A = this chain, B = another copy of it.
Amino acid sequence: MTAPAASWLDSDVPADNGFGLENLPYGVFSTQRDGRPRTGVAIGDRVLDLAGLTDDPVHATGSLNAFLALGPRRWQALRADLVGWLTEERHRALVEPHLVPVEEARLHLPVAIADYVDFYSSRHHAENLGHLFRPGGAPLTPNWLHLPLGYHGRSGTVVVSGTPVARPHGQRRGAADGPPTFGPSLQLDIEAEIGFVVGTPSPLGRPVALEELDQHVFGVCLVNDWSARDLQSWEYVPLGPFLGKSFLTSVSPWVVPLTALQAARIPPPPREVALLPYLDDAATAPWGLDIQMEVRINGHVVSRPPFGLMYWTPAQQLAHLTVNGASLRTGDLFASGTVSGPEQHQRGSLIELTWGGREPLELPDGSVRTFLQDGDRVSITATATGVHGGTVSLGAVTGRVQPPRPMP
């Protein structure tokens, strides 16, 4: 890479806010003046209106899907154009009228989600949940070290950051083998995750190899996979999580191109067992990603999950997802699963942070939490180092817990 170019915008960009030229993430926005949702690129404290600047209908559809479907060559070409437009003084007069202050932009769900798959790729998280959900048993199931476990979630309830989080109703296990009880979840939780957005589709019957991740995945976002643990623990045997998860999944509004994370690539942890060839990444360029995450409740940091310690990489997740011949569609979203590190303060969910609610968390404001209370505001943020050494921000995924809606 060449040295970082300076933008003619520099004077307007707060120093190193994570949205400099090394990032250039894509989102969908509208303004009060122009209510049409359209594609924008975040730069500093502005949003560049691509629909207005380029007049390309691909950027005026209200989702990124049409652009993502164009594939890696076109992604890279537009990225090069963006750098040119934002650094060369001669473009300034043309570009400047299409820069919108970010506080005037209403951000929408960036991608029309096709299929949503949630993986379970943190060994620390899987072991913690194993201890809590199956006490006395082996914390890891026998398959865990051999494949990235995953399941399909509900794509219709994937929403953009900021959408209110209504506490869901559902069945909970009753006392002493009695019948279940019903009501608002008493164990509403978060799951701090990183999501991967598919741009290039693949046909039925053609598995995607480890080396092909960046031919298919356009970029990453933050995911909060809200979870009702009481609903989940009653329902999940034998078909897996369902209503305990399907009420809402929030994603951050900016999709950060994989290209912006090239400097964050690191080897994943050593593998404990030999992997089958389609998952064996020992001889491939690594797809661990050194991303630092932070989880806040009402502004207080409660966890700093280290994404770089994830056992299974997104390349392995994609290879596994397609090894049976399953096809990919533009807009497919696959998420990492909860990111938890080995330390207590690195756990990406409250059920882990409070060990099933038995060790309440004391917040700096003096209040304590086991699970989420009505009114709690959760924010997950993340950053990585960019190719020129600056900060690349993944932005934030936020949500505020609402009281349960009345049953009709």
Contacts and interface: CB of A to CB of B under 8 A. Distances in A.
A316 to B, nearest CB: 13
Interface centre among A170, A177, A324 (most CB of B within 10 A): A324
A5 to B, nearest CB: 39
Interface string A143-177: 10011011111111101000000101111000001
A179 interface: yes
Give how many copies assemble into the complex.
2
Contacts of A326: 154, 156-157, 243, 246-247
A101 interface: no
Interface residues of A, number: 69
Given A142-B177, A166-B205, A407-B207, A239 B182 contact: no
A14 interface: no
A66 interface: no
B149 A151 contact: no
A146 B207 contact: no
A156 B328 contact: yes
Nearest to A238: B141
Interface stretch (A38-46, A228-236, A256-264, A292-300): A228-236
A4 interface: no
A120 interface: yes
A329 B113 CA distance: 13
Interface stretch (A75-83, A272-280, A356-364): A272-280
